[in-house]
Structure 1
């Protein structure tokens, strides 16, 4: 499992994960979203990506 996180000057992050790391991260986000409403939007993004129904415009607005 490998992950690389780089912070950018504009406050965003570049996150690169291999398949195992991505699966573990998404599973953690989905689990945590059951207990905290603030994480639910991130869980929706993760779930959409896993199902292949991601909408880039919606994600950009959500994460602003």
Structure 2
């Protein structure tokens, strides 16, 4: 099994009213995970090690009071 890279990104914007907004994604380039036909996993991908859902995106807000 060869090596592979997964790209994640996160941006945090701090605001003057003591709050912040987080924007980001995981596996943003939709990297295909290593194929492993020896263990009998679904579609040859080990779901205990790798996410099977592909890219995921998130938004978060934090306000300090």
TM-score range, shorter chain: under 0.3
Q: Which has the higher contact order (CA 8 A, sep 6+)?
A: 2
TM-score of the pair, normalised by structure 2: 0.23
- Where is the helix percentage greater, Structure 1 or Structure 2? 1
Q: Computing the radius of gyration over CA atoms, which structure comes out larger, 1 or 2? A: 2
